[in-house]
Homo-oligomer: A and B are copies of this chain.
Amino acid sequence: MKNINIRELALELNLSVSTVSKALNDSYEISEETKRRVLETAARLNYVPNPYASSLRGRKSKNIGVVIPEVADSFFSLAINGIESVAKEKGYHVLICLTHESFENERTILKEFQGGRVDGVLLSVSRETTQCNHISDLIANGLPLVFFDRACDNVETAKITTDDFESAYKATAHLIQQNCDQIAFLSISKSLSISNKRLEGYLQALSDYQIKVDQKYIIHCSNDAEQNYLLIKKLLQQKNKPNGIIASVEKLTTPVYMACEALKLKVPKDVKIVCFSNLETAAILNPSLTTITQPAFEMGKTAATLLFRALENRNFSLIKEDFIIPSTLVVRGSTSH
């Protein structure tokens, strides 16, 4: 005897899937008579409940899912702390899943989440993510989702970001004011919205200060530390090497410093460095590192607060809830005379 799914069961009963689901979950909204009819028909037609089926979602998991590229990055570890500070208060658990910057991983994780394992999702997309159907599908299936830091612009839901354009502009202007006229920009993705906004801020500052853009100073790094080190070293070995560097993500800090050391370039005398970074060790590096420090904890907290507002009130729409929380330029030894 073939199993039937909840849709077929609902059809047979001439009820909606939602009513059948509620009946199977013993909802107070459904009459005892209907519940019995549903269970009897389910038995007769060999309906086998899927413990994770989204149609059973009436029963809350009391989990929220956090999907991020990695944890070996201070931004994400601080953002998680911000998220957990809210979840704890609400009596929820936080399940963290890592994509390791892979689109395929991200898709599989979100698909899994549709099975009722979590009640809502906080997402920072992978560097490979260029199309967003997997995210729209999740939302269409009734799971609220809030982006933080890295968002898909064309998915209509809340986005908590920082002022990536303005921060990169500020970093570039700071280097120019410190007499840099050959400034390199290290990106990690050609598609990621935050990478592009930071690149645009850099380009705008160069333009405003009448410095010509030189494409050889714009480096697209990868997810491989060793390869990034070699790329940066090559950048610093060419004729007309840069005298200023903006690293757009934290994990480029170590390869930049190591490349300067290998080439015996003095920081900040020969080359000045600004990194987008929340590294706790920024102040004790050799030399101490000038950073664009992101409001990581605040961003996580705000994203989680919005998600819970949506979970607690089905009428609350996440669509118009975009927040931009500004980052701070912290000037330290790597850019001062």
Contacts and interface: CB of A to CB of B under 8 A. Distances in A.
Interface of A: 1, 3, 24-26, 32, 35-36, 39-40, 42-44, 46-53, 56, 59, 61, 63, 70-72, 74, 76-78, 80-81, 84, 88, 93-98, 100, 105, 108-109, 112, 116-117, 251, 253-254, 257-258, 261, 279-281, 283-288
Contacts of A285: 281, 284-286
Given A71-B76, A279-B281, 10 more contacts: A1-B35, A24-B48, A25-B48, A40-B43, A40-B44, A51-B56, A51-B59, A77-B77, A251-B280, A253-B284
B51 A116 contact: yes
Contact of A24 (B44, B49, B84, B261): B49
A118 B100 CA distance: 21
Nearest to A57: B51
Contact of A93 (B1, B72, B112): B112
Nearest to A73: B77
Contact of A84 (B100, B253, B254, B284): B100
Contact of A280 (B32, B84, B254): B254
B74 A81 contact: no
A24 B108 CA distance: 27
Contacts of A283: 254, 258
16 contacts: A1-B36, A25-B48, A26-B46, A42-B43, A51-B51, A51-B53, A51-B116, A52-B59, A84-B98, A95-B97, A251-B280, A253-B284, A254-B280, A261-B284, A285-B286, A286-B287
Nearest to A53: B51
A85 B123 CA distance: 22
A48 B61 CA distance: 16
A21 to B, nearest CB: 11
Contacts of A47: 39
Nearest to A251: B280
A141 B253 CA distance: 46
Most B-side CB within 10 Å, residue of A50, A93, A253: A93
Given A43-B42, A284-B257, A97 B98 contact: no
A1 B37 CA distance: 13
Contacts of A258: 283-284
A3 B43 CA distance: 16
A279 B96 CA distance: 22
Given A261-B284, A285-B285, A80 B98 contact: yes
A97 B87 CA distance: 12
A140 to B, nearest CB: 21
Contacts of A71: 71, 76-77, 80, 96
